Structure 1
Amino acid sequence: MALALSKGVVAIEHERVVGTVLVTCYKEDGATINMVIVDEAMRGRGLGRRLMDEALRLAGDRPLRLVATSEGLPLYEKLGFQETGRILQHQGVVGEIAAPAEAEPASAADMTAIGDLDRLAFGADRGDLFSCLSKVGEFAVVRRERRVAGFAVVRPFGRGEVIGPVVADNLEDAKALVAHFIALRPGRFLRVDTTAAAGLSGWLAEQGLAHVGDGVAMMKPPVEPAQTVPTIFALANQALG
């Protein structure tokens, strides 16, 4: 999915790939930089900086986002990226829970409203991403007065499935959307990438999705995160935002 949505560059030495970077553009509204990987034997030679220079060229004038590891953080700061929050990765095998009454499976007729909500919450048109998600994932929605007020997606990812993005007006609706998919998957391995600011982390741990790692959300140019409604409570994943 990342390759289908992105442009990228590889570094090659002696006919072997030793570095990668991808840029996922969301129309002209913004882009994420991801899959910044340098072979361990090549580190300390400036290859990460050269890959990032190529990524910045591919992105053009778009506002940029990425999720940094502690190893990559100093380079991104030098390039003008600024921390905007923390990303918390939760995962685990879930048990049986009751299905919430507030959430229900989405219909094809809901996709326009889902796209509109995501655009408001994310600040960019991710229509291409949602076209991919609609082919491989399942959508759920929360309705208020017959309108779609929140949504979530689940899809195959890694060892199991990832739940995200999750967009809702409030924390309780976000919990209901995540719980909708947990209830349908007892005994399955699930992952959710949330933010520290979202307030979902403690509840995820209570459901059996342990907090297993952090990342630093960064933007260039630095922009104070807007307190938007609806709000993103979980990412599609750390690469795609």
Structure 2
Amino acid sequence: MPTSPAPLAPLDQLPIRGLTSGDLTACADLSEDRGWPREEHKWNLLLTAGMGYGIDDPAGKGLIAACVVTSYGPGLAAIGMVLVAERYARRGVGRRLMRHVLAEAGDTPLTLHATPNGKPLYEQLGFVETGRAEMVSGRFTPTEPAPGIPTRPATAEDLQAILRLDTEIFGLDRTPMITRLPAFADELRVAEEDGEITGFAAAWPNMDTHVIGPLIARDTATAQSLVASLAAATDRPLRTDIDVRHTSLLTWLKANGLDSIAFNAVMVRSLPGLPGDWTRRFAPLTVAAG
């Protein structure tokens, strides 16, 4: 007689394992399962620069849950790409994965961008809202021109100055992530005045769009000039996530063809707010990594 298959383990006992770049296709499949873009390019960055966690489907059908944690040392880590397969939604799998990540993080403060659907779970896990980001997307049409502050393509010689400026404004050293930008992004530009770099921004490919991020700049005028110069180098629609406190930049982007798509809550755990200088931090590299 044929043997009956062994009973599947309860969901709260399924093992959680580390993910690597070898899990890229499974992560993209999971994104697609939830109606998200596959975003292989972004997944590859996050899995190589950060630490991925996943739960395998006991039926052997890929991943049923995943997330990625990007560490910036003992001062902060960012959680992103928290996904649960539709067939396992609302069964406690996401909570189990998050509790595991929190335990692994220990005393390290955490941040994440929460959708309206995910926010209640994160609040139950001790996260509090500290700000909001507005996603805007569309074809950039320069109806209202940028101020004309000079920008140029970044060179290898600019890297140390970019790292110094980023650490000053982000508030923590994220060298392992920023040094990947030249290979990850299609365009990386700097603004410069009197030989000093006053801002930088990247445009990286994501499906049929170019995402602008990070966007670090001395002021709104510099941020506008960087965005305009990146837009001039692509024929794809743009997308970016702007801190809602930067109202002048958001108004200018919308006047130039970008539409509001969604709002996310910026949340933190175990710290009162994000480090650094928000007045010069306009957009994250990606909401998944801060």
TM over 0.5: yes
Aligned pair 1:55/2:101, yes or no? yes
Aligned pair 1:145/2:189, yes or no? no
Unaligned runs of 5+ in 1: none
Task: Return the index of the structure with the highest Cα Rg.
Answer: 2
CA 1:226–1:128 in 2, change beyond 3 Å: closer, same or farther? closer
Deviation of residue 55 (structure 1)? 1.4
Deviation of residue 57 (structure 1)? 2.7
Aligned pair 1:5/2:5, yes or no? no
Which is worse superposed, 136-145 or 1-10?
136-145
Deviation of residue 224 (structure 1)? 3.4
Deviation of residue 159 (structure 1)? 1.6
TM-score when normalising by structure 1 = 0.92
**1:158, 1:59 → 2: CA distance?**
31
**2:267, 2:170 → 1: CA distance?**
14
Residue 163 of structure 2 aligns with an amino acid whose one-letter code is: G
2:20 match: none
Contact kept, 8 Å, 1:8 with 1:55, in 2: the verdict is: no
2:230 match: 181
**2:188, 2:180 → 1: CA distance?**
12
Match among 7, 19, 26 for residue 72 of structure 2: 26
SS, match of residue 252 in structure 2 = helix
TM-score when normalising by structure 2 = 0.77
**2:180, 2:99 → 1: CA distance?**
28
Aligned pair 1:120/2:168, yes or no? yes
Residue 194 of structure 1 aligns with an amino acid whose one-letter code is: I
1:81 match: 127
SS, match of residue 27 in structure 1 = coil
Match among 217, 229, 251 for residue 202 of structure 1: 251
SS, match of residue 48 in structure 1 = helix
SS, match of residue 273 in structure 2 = coil
**1:19, 1:86 → 2: CA distance?**
25
Contact kept, 8 Å, 1:141 with 1:177, in 2: the verdict is: yes
Contact kept, 8 Å, 2:159 with 2:179, in 1: the verdict is: no
1:170 match: 219
Match among 7, 11, 14 for residue 59 of structure 2: 14
Match among 272, 279, 283 for residue 223 of structure 1: 272
2:88 match: 42
Higher relative contact order (CA 8 A, sep 6+): 1
Contact kept, 8 Å, 1:25 with 1:59, in 2: the verdict is: no
Match among 174, 178, 196 for residue 130 of structure 1: 178
Contact kept, 8 Å, 1:117 with 1:230, in 2: the verdict is: no
**1:183, 1:101 → 2: CA distance?**
14
What per-residue deviation string (whole Å, max 9, x for no partner) do you get for residues 128-185 of structure 1? Answer: 1112212132221112331111111112122221111011121111111111111222
**1:209, 1:167 → 2: CA distance?**
19
Aligned-residue Cα RMSD (Å) equals: 1.9
**1:225, 1:34 → 2: CA distance?**
16
**1:94, 1:39 → 2: CA distance?**
34
**1:235, 1:14 → 2: CA distance?**
37
CA 1:18–1:215 in 2, change beyond 3 Å: closer, same or farther? same
Deviation of residue 23 (structure 1)? 0.8
Query: How many residue pairs were aligned?
Result: 240
User: Whose strand proportion is higher, 1 or 2?
Assistant: 1
**1:158, 1:82 → 2: CA distance?**
32
